[in-house]
Structure 1
Amino acid sequence: MRLSQPRIRPLAPEDWTPEQAEVLAPLGGGGVIPAGPVLNIFRTMAHAPKALKAFLTWGNYVLSKKNDLPPREREIVILRTGFLCRSGYEWTQHAEIGRRCGLADDEIQRLKAGASAGWSPADAALIQATDELHHDQFISTPTWKALLAHFSEKQAMDLVFTAGQYTQVSMLLNTFGVQLDAGQSLDPDLKAF
């Protein structure tokens, strides 16, 4: 985590305007996110409810079955992006989602080490492509060919969409100082640096 306190405080339900409540009300249950209180990311973004509403439209595409990457592979991209962006909040949320999507704890830990950490060729291609997008905002031709050996062109496009979405998410989480939700603990490798 880059900040130990929020720069922008998450809004408490009693402080929501009608417009904020309309956007936030459905976020406490269902889908990839388990039922419960509205997460800090959304309560923070609610300071800009129109932006949050637009953000949710794209985010829902990335996390839905419309994204052709299978859920496990999608979570590999999200977790690697969150780790590269040093986003403790993102990593914490998606480590749990990744487990529900089929990633083992040792795989989640190996994502920190990158593509050469004993992955299958398909997983290594996903991780390499994510690294290249993070460092150069471009997937090299050899890595693109490696992706297409295992994934469709649409899946490769969805990898780019997913990495881009979670780079943006990491930027806002880090900059706004969004803190972990109740009951969560930060991975020691993502403590303040």
Structure 2
Amino acid sequence: MTDQTGQLTGPFAIMLIAPGVGDAVESLGTALRTRSSLSPRVREIATLTIASHYQSEFEWSAHEPAAKNAGFTTSQLDQLKRKQIPDGLDEAEKAAVESVILLLNAHSLDNPSYQKAVALLGEQGLAELVWLCGYYSMLAVALNAFPAQNSTRFQNGGVSDPAESSREPRVGPSRSAPVQR
């Protein structure tokens, strides 16, 4: 993604700071987007769950159009942004969102959640979901570490004043609350 002057923005600009690693990161992203067995709906709802968790406006803005193209409604996306599991998801989509939430908050899946995810997504699908979660979490953390690349701040809990983007790092509990149903 580029700005109006043609300069790379978001995580792509950060990747240029350490291009050897940035190339590998982008290769993983390409594989997740183009060689995954996950449906576009599962990929996008999982990605936006991660963007919501990390309050990553760049990730949200980059993936919201794809989620709408995949058939998600504005109402469903608004629910997700408010840390709620959206209404109207199919069982696989719901399992993906629940798995991502567990991975982000507990850093693992309990046995019933693992069994449900494998039953609905397949073992390969779950593995790809885990890698997707790690990839977009990594991008969100990078965007939060380099706030100029995440310039439009996340609504409902994010920084709204650009002057605050140079704030001291937050210490303590995550800025994100668990998703409630």
Q: Normalising by structure 2, what TM-score?
A: 0.75
Is this contact kept in 2: 1:115–1:125, CA < 8 A? Answer: no
Choose between structure 1 and 2 for higher RCO, CA contacts under 8 A separated by at least 6 residues: 1
**1:89-128 pair list within 5 angstroms:** 89-112=58-81, 113-115=83-85, 117=87, 119-128=89-98
CA displacement at 1:148 relative to structure 2: 2.5
- Map of 1:188 onto structure 2: 155
Partner of 1:80: 49
Alignment of 1:17-166 (within 5 A): 38-64=8-34, 66-112=35-81, 113-115=83-85, 117=87, 119-166=89-136
Question: 2-side partners of 1:101 and 1:186: how far apart?
Answer: 25
Structure 1 equivalent of residue 147 of structure 2:
177
User: Which residue number in structure 1 is paired with residue 166 of structure 2?
Assistant: none
How far 1:116 moved relative to its partner?
A: 6.8
Task: Give the AA of the match of 2:156.
Answer: D
- 2:179 matched residue in structure 1: none
Superposed displacement of residue 85, structure 1: 1.4
Give the Cα separation in 2 of the matches to 1:186 and 1:170: 12
Kept in 2: contact 1:77–1:130 (CA 8 A): yes
Structure 2 gap ranges (5+): 160-174, 176-181
Q: Percent identity?
A: 23
d(CA) in 2 for partners of 1:117 and 1:190?
A: 23
Q: Tell me which moved more, 138-147 or 76-85.
A: 138-147
Calculate the aligned-residue CA RMSD, in Å. 2.3
After TM superposition, give the deviation of residue 187 of structure 1 in Å. Answer: 5.1
- Deviation per residue, 1:159-192 (Å, 9 max, x gap): 10101111111100001114357xxx65522531
Contact 1:44 1:178 in 2 (8 A): no
TM-score w.r.t. length of structure 1: 0.71
Q: Partners of 1:39 and 1:96 in 2: how far apart?
A: 17
CA contact (8 A) 2:55 2:154 kept: no
Q: How big is each residue's C-alpha offset from its partner over 1:55-93, in whole Å with a ceiling of 9 and x where there is no partner?
A: 1111111111x1111111101111101111121221121
- Give 5+ residue unaligned stretches, structure 1: 1-26, 29-35
CA-CA distance at 1:38 after TM superposition: 3.3
